[in-house]
């Protein structure tokens, strides 16, 4: 499967040129990293935008951008991954319901609350009647959306599929996530020093990453996706075996991995999964991380996928993402992504230059 178009919105300034990763790196002092992008009006009519929640807005814009960049008006499928869906609208409907003790409610927020609202709204905007799917499997939401696309491009080569991941910040969820150890409780956190905060939880983020993928290579192809695997649960020993098998299945050794991108999020209870590979089989491999830039959210790995595509295109790695001092060889051919959240939804994605 080939990645023929890429687009991402998140806490970083992504709007810059084709030639660079991002503009000036955005730093935050709170553990909540809201999306930097604000120019929604450029892409969505005001009347339509009025009812849109932030995930719908982010999803629609990221989708519009990537379709425009590939000159595709009608994708052959719209496949979206989202961990929490339109959480804020769902919360508002529930709050109104509870406050009124199940009184008369406006249906607007209920209508927007379904998890497939983003995929549905993209279809509506494009008048696209094609296959439309939404995966909501925590940190494997984007990965299973990508897997669905991968299976489809395998049987029909000439189709252009729109696939993406999106999640929004919900104020109430963040409050709750400080209770159950998902979000760090330090009042001030400098995102760029994320890994220095040795405590439970991570920092919260939001964003949308959308891609046009196809079974056919185009002149504009960024990368080819060789394989994707997800595991709902793995122990650390199991993890190492699964990675090695994954590489073997694709006729690769650990030395063939030019860049290893991991989802380290500074959660003291779970970063060991990353460390177990980073200090072992990939200890000599250039290692990158990214959640200090965009925060942790269920589909933040969509940004890692974007980053990998961009690295293969530019043939360089962003310094700010480097975890160790190893630099890739002169030509970057193969990138492995690994992500998990709280020890669940482990995923490997293998990308290669094409």
CA dihedral 57, 62, 65, 70 (to 10 degrees): -140
The answer to whether 139 touches 341, Cβ cutoff 8 Å, is yes
Residue selected from 17, 29, 38, 106 as contacting another protein according to rule CB under 8 A: 106
Q: Which of residues 308-337 bind another protein (CB under 8 A)?
A: none
Residues belonging to the chain: 354
CA atoms within 13 A on the CB side of 184: 29
C-alpha span between 255 and 282 (Å, rounded): 8
Q: Which segment (8-16, 89-97, 200-208, 215-223) binds another protein by CB under 8 A?
A: 89-97
Residue 340 interacts with another protein (CB under 8 A): yes or no: no
Q: Which segment (7-15, 34-42, 123-131, 318-326) binds another protein by CB under 8 A?
A: 123-131
Residue 159 interacts with another protein (CB under 8 A): yes or no: no
Q: Which is nearer to another protein, 78 or 332 (CB)?
A: 78
C-alpha span between 232 and 81 (Å, rounded): 16
Encoded one letter per residue, x for contact with another protein by CB under 8 A and - for no contact, window 263-302 reads -----------------------------------x----
Residue selected from 114, 174, 218, 250 as contacting another protein according to rule CB under 8 A: 114
Residue selected from 173, 218, 254, 322 as contacting another protein according to rule CB under 8 A: 173
Q: Quickly count: other Cβ atoms within 10 Å of residue 151's Cβ.
A: 11
Q: Which segment (40-48, 115-123, 207-215, 283-291) binds another protein by CB under 8 A?
A: 115-123
C-alpha span between 281 and 104 (Å, rounded): 59
Residue 205 interacts with another protein (CB under 8 A): yes or no: no
**Helices and strands (DSSP H and E) totals, the chain:** 11, 12
Q: Which segment (41-49, 149-157, 262-270, 285-293) binds another protein by CB under 8 A?
A: 149-157
Residue 183 interacts with another protein (CB under 8 A): yes or no: no
Residue 133 interacts with another protein (CB under 8 A): yes or no: yes
Cross-strand pairs, 344:
233, 341
Residues binding another protein: number (CB under 8 A): 66
Residue 64 interacts with another protein (CB under 8 A): yes or no: no
C-alpha span between 221 and 238 (Å, rounded): 34
Residue 345 interacts with another protein (CB under 8 A): yes or no: yes
C-alpha span between 210 and 163 (Å, rounded): 6
Residue with tokens 């990763």: 21
Q: Quickly count: other Cβ atoms within 10 Å of residue 186's Cβ.
A: 13
C-alpha span between 306 and 308 (Å, rounded): 5
Q: Which is nearer to another protein, 299 or 334 (CB)?
A: 299
Rg of the chain on CA atoms, in Å? 19
Query: How near is the Cβ of 330 to another protein at its closest, in Å?
Result: 35
Residue 237 interacts with another protein (CB under 8 A): yes or no: no
Angle at 293 between CA 325 and CA 82, to 5 degrees: 125
C-alpha span between 263 and 164 (Å, rounded): 18
Residue 116 interacts with another protein (CB under 8 A): yes or no: yes
Residue 240 interacts with another protein (CB under 8 A): yes or no: no
The answer to whether 138 touches 221, Cβ cutoff 8 Å, is no
Alpha-helix runs per DSSP H in 70-162: 87-99, 108-113, 117-126, 141-155
Residue 68 interacts with another protein (CB under 8 A): yes or no: no
Residue selected from 101, 158, 325, 329 as contacting another protein according to rule CB under 8 A: 101
Query: How near is the Cβ of 25 to another protein at its closest, in Å?
Result: 30
Q: Which residues of the shown chain bind another protein in the complex (CB under 8 A)?
A: 78, 83-85, 87, 90, 93-95, 97-98, 101-102, 104-107, 110-117, 119-121, 123-124, 126-138, 140-141, 144, 147-148, 151-152, 154-155, 173, 176-177, 179-180, 182, 230-234, 298, 344-345
């Amino acid at each position: 499967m080939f990645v023929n178009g890429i687009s991402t919105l998140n806490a970083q300034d992504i709007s810059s040129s084709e030639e660079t990763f991002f503009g000036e790196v955005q730093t935050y002092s709170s553990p909540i990293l809201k999306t930097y992008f604000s120019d929604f009006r450029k892409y969505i009519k005001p009347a339509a935008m009025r009812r849109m929640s932030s995930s719908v807005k982010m999803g629609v814009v990221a989708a519009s951008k990537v379709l425009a960049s590939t000159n595709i008006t009608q994708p052959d499928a719209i496949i979206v991954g989202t961990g929490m869906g339109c959480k804020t609208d769902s919360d508002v409907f529930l709050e109104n319901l509870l406050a009124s003790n199940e009184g008369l409610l406006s249906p607007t927020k209920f209508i927007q609350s379904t998890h497939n609202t983003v995929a549905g709204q993209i279809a509506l905007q494009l008048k696209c009647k094609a296959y439309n799917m939404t995966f909501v499997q925590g940190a494997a939401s984007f990965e299973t959306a990508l897997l669905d696309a991968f299976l489809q491009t395998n049987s029909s080569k000439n189709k252009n599929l729109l696939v993406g991941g999106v999640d929004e910040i919900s104020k109430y969820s963040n409050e709750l996530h400080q209770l159950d150890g998902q979000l760090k409780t330090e009042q001030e956190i400098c995102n760029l020093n994320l890994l220095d905060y040795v405590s439970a939880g991570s920092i919260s983020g939001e964003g949308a990453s959308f891609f046009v993928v196809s079974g056919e290579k185009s002149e504009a192809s960024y990368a080819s996706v060789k394989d994707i695997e997800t595991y709902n649960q793995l122990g650390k020993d199991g993890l190492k075996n699964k990675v090695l098998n994954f590489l073997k299945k694709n006729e690769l050794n650990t030395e063939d991995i030019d860049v290893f991108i991991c989802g380290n999020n500074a959660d003291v209870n779970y970063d060991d999964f990353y460390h177990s590979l980073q200090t072992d089989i990939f200890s000599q491999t250039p290692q990158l991380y990214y959640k200090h830039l965009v925060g942790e959210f269920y589909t933040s790995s969509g940004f890692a996928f974007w980053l990998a595509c961009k690295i293969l295109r530019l043939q360089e790695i962003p310094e700010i993402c480097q975890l160790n001092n190893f630099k890739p060889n002169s030509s970057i051919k193969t990138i492995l992504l690994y992500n998990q959240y709280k020890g669940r939804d482990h995923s490997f994605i293998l990308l290669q230059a094409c």
